[in-house]
Amino acid sequence: MSDLERVIADIIRSEGPLSIARFMALALHHPELGYYTRGDPLGPHGDFVTAPELSQAFGEVIRAWFAQAWLDLGRPAPFRLVELGPGRGTLLADALRATRTVAGFHDGMRLHLVESSERLRATQAARLAGFDPTWHARLDEVPSGPLLLIANEFFDALPVHQLVATTGGWVERCVDLDAEGRLAFRPGEHPSPLGADLPPAPAGTMTEVSPARSALAEAIGRRIARDGGVALIIDYGAWAEGPTGDTLQATRRHAPCDPLDAPGTADLTTHVDFHALAGAAASGGASVYGPVPQGTFLTTLGIHLRTAKLMERATAEQQRALRAALFRLTDASAMGELFKVLALAAPDAPAPPGFARPTLRPC
Binding site for ligand SAH (CB under 6 A): 36, 42, 50, 52-53, 85-87, 91, 114-117, 120, 152-154, 157-158
Q: Which is nearer to ligand SAH, 63 or 285 (CB)?
A: 63
Q: Which is nearer to ligand SAH, 158 or 301 (CB)?
A: 158
Phi and psi dihedrals of 239, rounded to 5?
A: -90, 95
Q: Which is nearer to ligand SAH, 120 or 183 (CB)?
A: 120
Nearest distance, CB of residue 86 and ligand SAH, angstroms:
6
Which residue in the shown chain puts its C-beta closest to ligand SAH? Answer: 85
Nearest distance, CB of residue 35 and ligand SAH, angstroms:
9
Nearest distance, CB of residue 146 and ligand SAH, angstroms:
22
Nearest distance, CB of residue 246 and ligand SAH, angstroms:
21
Q: Which is nearer to ligand SAH, 5 or 153 (CB)?
A: 153
Nearest distance, CB of residue 331 and ligand SAH, angstroms:
19
Q: Which is nearer to ligand SAH, 67 or 234 (CB)?
A: 234
Nearest distance, CB of residue 117 and ligand SAH, angstroms:
4
Q: Which is nearer to ligand SAH, 133 or 358 (CB)?
A: 133
Nearest distance, CB of residue 307 and ligand SAH, angstroms:
18
Q: Which is nearer to ligand SAH, 157 or 164 (CB)?
A: 157
